[in-house]
Amino acid sequence: MELLFEFLTTLKNTVVDVLPILSIILGFQLLVIRKPIPHIKQVGFGFIYVLIGLALFLLGLEKALFPLGKMMAEQLTAPEFIHAGQEVLTAIHWSDYTWVYIFAAAIGFSTTIAEPSLIAVAIKAEEVSGGAINANSLRISVAIGVAVGIALGSYRIVVGHPIHYYIIAGYVVVVIQTFFCPKLIVPLAYDSGGVTTSTVTVPLVAALGLGLASTIPGRSPLIDGFGLIAFASLFPIIAVMAYAQLTEAKARRAEKKSEKRIQDKENKRNSK
Amino acid sequence: MNNQFFVFLKALLGSCKDLLPIIVVISFFQFAVLQQPMPNIGDILVGLALVVLGLTFFIYGLEMGLFPIGESMAQAFAKKGSISWLLTFAFCLGFGTTVAEPALIAVAKEAAIVAASGGIITDTIESQLSYANGLRFTVAFAVGFAIVVGVLRILRGWPIQYLILGGYVVVVLMTMIAPSWIIGIAYDSGGVTTSTITVPLVTALGVGLASAIKGRNPMIDGFGLIAFASLTPMIFVMIYGMVIS
């Protein structure tokens, strides 16, 4: 009963969030395009499904994942866990936080796999590319990018380097890759940076960043707590382009091999 | 009916697979690293069931409602041939979906508290509110602008890399002259703008436009709108920071 009430509240909030989008779509459809929406019944039901789905999803996250994930981020960054067994705390060393980096990477990877907007883009990309881009491979590459990004971002908070060196270095890598990777993937790769950080990833990652910045001496949560999201949106771009480069290289090698095989056969036939 | 049930069951199974990594990671850290029992296991199981169900409904509705409406509107605008209406729609979509975005409202509020405690703005509720609202409208305007530029790019067939890489150069240059307290917030604001409903809609709009216009490739020209929407807020928020200080 209580669950139902909570669900209705979440549903109401979701509907309120969607209202601006809905009114823009309806306004333009009725006043500018002035044609009935094709398959209106199906589209309407689709919208209702999306709203119900999103409300259930958010409620479930709020109930199960967020409290647990946030608690874990706090416990893993707490001094009692990091410096367990150390009698006198002399200085912090970046390697004391190994579990934090592993947690950051693991939670970044797994939340990205469950990110609904990434699923949407991956479905569309597979459809548009006629199957040349596999939705699951795309999602896994993006997730690897987020994992590396958040782990590196946590390392940055621990050692206290300024954020823009990392971001600018990342941009340089993106620029270089753009010139060498297959042209078809470039826009999709750029998109994947913005897509990764939404409903599931942001709250958990923010908790990790704040936990780290508030427990490490000399870091301020106000300055160092921000910025993990920037890491999580930069590295997927690199990862997706790398995935395309790898697939292309593999295809080229396979092509060469089969060409060679055909040539060998022909040579044999000729020598006979 | 039976067939539909089967499809639903299959989708449900797919959602379970999507969620499996999170479950593995959380249990591993809880049991093996932190070595603690799972707290209120009943709540967690109910929550997980809701998440699986929600994800299934969302993806189902996505292909039934969000994708088709985005594409049919793109095609209707392309047929109508009025560029100014299309650009107005693009701006409204970007601005309207961002200005009410809960994640952005939360970040703006937090940023206002930071700014007040740092002495950038006076420590009163009114000045905090006006700062937070200023930030919100800046980001929303930036996203509206981004979608307009992105749609223009699709219409004209401009190559995306020069626009995005040029934007990066602007971000780097601005980082050097913008006040340091705005940089972290500016970098993060690019990531929070794109919500779960905006992304599929905008993607469908781009792909729909690129497939309706002759000579455009939906793969090369259709994607990229979201990339603009995550880039321009960084630039605009840094400008906002410079104007304020």
Query: Which pLDDT value is given to residue B105?
Result: 81
Find chain A residues with C-beta within 8 A of B112's C-beta.
Answer: none
Structure pTM?
A: 0.88
Q: Which of A183-192, B91-100, B183-192 has the highest mean pLDDT?
A: A183-192
pLDDT at B191 exceeding the cut of 80: no
Kindly determine whether residue A194 and residue B188, on different chains, have CB atoms separated by under 8 Å: no
Mean pLDDT of A133-162: 92
Residue B116: pLDDT band with limits 50, 70, 90:
confident
Query: Which pLDDT value is given to residue A86?
Result: 57
Query: Which pLDDT value is given to residue B43?
Result: 85
For residue B63, give both structure tokens. 């292909």
Query: Which pLDDT value is given to residue B99?
Result: 84
Count of residues for chain A? 272
Find chain A residues with C-beta within 8 A of B25's C-beta.
Answer: 103, 106-107, 109-110
Q: Read off the DSSP letter of residue B37.
A: P
> Which of these, A161, A169, A179, A183, lies nearest to A234 by C-alpha position?
A169
Mean pLDDT of A182-206: 84
Q: Which of B34, B110, B196, B225 to mutate to test the interface with A (most CBs of A within 10 A)?
A: B196
Going from the C-alpha of B50 to that of each of B68, B134, B233, the distances in angstroms are 26, 37, 34
pLDDT at A11 exceeding the cut of 80: yes
Other CB atoms closer than 10 Å to residue B45's CB: what's the count? 13
Q: How far is B145 from chain A (nearest CA, A)?
A: 16
A160: left (phi over 0), alpha (psi -120 to 50) or beta: left
Rounded distance, CA B147 to CA B144, Å? 5
Q: How many CA atoms lie within 13 A of B35 on its CB side?
A: 1
Kindly determine whether residue A25 and residue B69, on different chains, have CB atoms separated by under 8 Å: yes
Rounded distance, CA A164 to CA A227, Å? 10
pLDDT over 90 percentage in chain B: 37
pLDDT at A218 exceeding the cut of 90: no
In the predicted model, what is the mean pLDDT of chain B? Answer: 87
Find chain A residues with C-beta within 8 A of B22's C-beta.
Answer: 65, 107, 110-111, 113-114
Query: Which pLDDT value is given to residue A260?
Result: 81
**Cβ–Cβ < 8 Å for B214, B146:** no
Q: How far is A57 from chain B (nearest CA, A)?
A: 4
Query: Which pLDDT value is given to residue A92?
Result: 67
Rounded distance, CA A51 to CA B58, Å? 7
pLDDT at B138 exceeding the cut of 90: yes
> Which of these, A180, A149, A190, lies nearest to A167 by C-alpha position?
A149
Query: What does the pLDDT look like over A173-184, one tens digit per residue?
Result: 999 999 999 988
**Cβ–Cβ < 8 Å for B232, B239:** no
3-state secondary structure A69-112: HHHHHHHHHCHHHHCCCCCCCCCCCHHHHHHHHHHHHHHHHHHH
Q: How far is A141 from chain B (nearest CA, A)?
A: 14
pLDDT over 70 percentage in chain A: 93
Rounded distance, CA B135 to CA B103, Å? 13
Considering only alpha carbons, which residue of chain A is nearest residue B172? A168
For residue A267, give both structure tokens. 């040579």
**Residue predicted with more confidence, A80 or B220:** B220
ipTM comes to 0.87
Rounded distance, CA A52 to CA B58, Å? 7
pLDDT at A271 exceeding the cut of 80: no
Q: Angle A203-B109-A19 (CA atoms, 0-180°, nearest 5)?
A: 75
pLDDT at A89 exceeding the cut of 70: no
Find chain A residues with C-beta within 8 A of B196's C-beta.
Answer: 54, 116-117, 198-199
Kindly determine whether residue A20 and residue B96, on different chains, have CB atoms separated by under 8 Å: yes
